[in-house]
Amino acid sequence: MNHSPVKPAHLSRLDTADEEIKRRKQEVLDGVMAALQAQTVGADHPRLLTPERKESLYIKEIERREHYEMSKHPPLPQIIVTKKVDDYEWRDFTNTIRGRFGAQLQE
C-alpha cells in the first residue's frame, strides 16, 4: 500500500472493507442466479424452497420464538401437594404414581 496525503491509511482500510462487501454481495447474487437457472431447468438446488425445506424452516422459526419467549418469561415454579394416604399405620404423605395399566404405586 502506498500511502499519500491524498489517500491516507484509514481510507485504504475502508476501501478493503468495501471490496469485501462487494465480494459477499457477488457471492449471494451468484447463488441466487444458480438457483433461478436450476428452477427453470427443473433441477434441485439448495437455495430453492421445496415444501419439505419450507416446513423445516417454519418449525425452526416456531422453536426459535418459543425459546425466546421462554428465556424472557420462564414458567413459574409449581408446588405439588400430594394426597394423604388413608392407611392409618403410616400416616404419611406420598406421591401417587401410576404404574402399568394405570395401577397406583406408592413411592
| Residue whose entry in the numeric block shows the C-alpha cell 471490496 | 19
Predicted confidence band at 25 (pLDDT cuts at 50, 70, 90)? very high
Q: 57 is written with which cell numbers?
A: 424452516
- How confident is the model at residue 35, as a pLDDT? 87
Tens digit of each residue's pLDDT (9 = 90 or more) over 76-87:
888 877 776 565
Q: Determine how many CB atoms are found less than 10 A away from the CB of residue 34.
A: 14
Average confidence (pLDDT) over 89-97: 54
Q: 81 is written with which cell numbers?
A: 401437594
**Structural contact between residues 83 and 90, judged by C-beta atoms closer than 8 angstroms:** no
Q: What is the CA radius of gyration of the chain?
A: 32
- How confident is the model at residue 23, as a pLDDT? 93
| Residue whose entry in the numeric block shows the C-alpha cell 465480494 | 23
Between these two residues, 46 and 57, which has the higher pLDDT value? 57
- How confident is the model at residue 70, as a pLDDT? 92
Tens digit of each residue's pLDDT (9 = 90 or more) over 5-22:
666 666 667 677 788 899
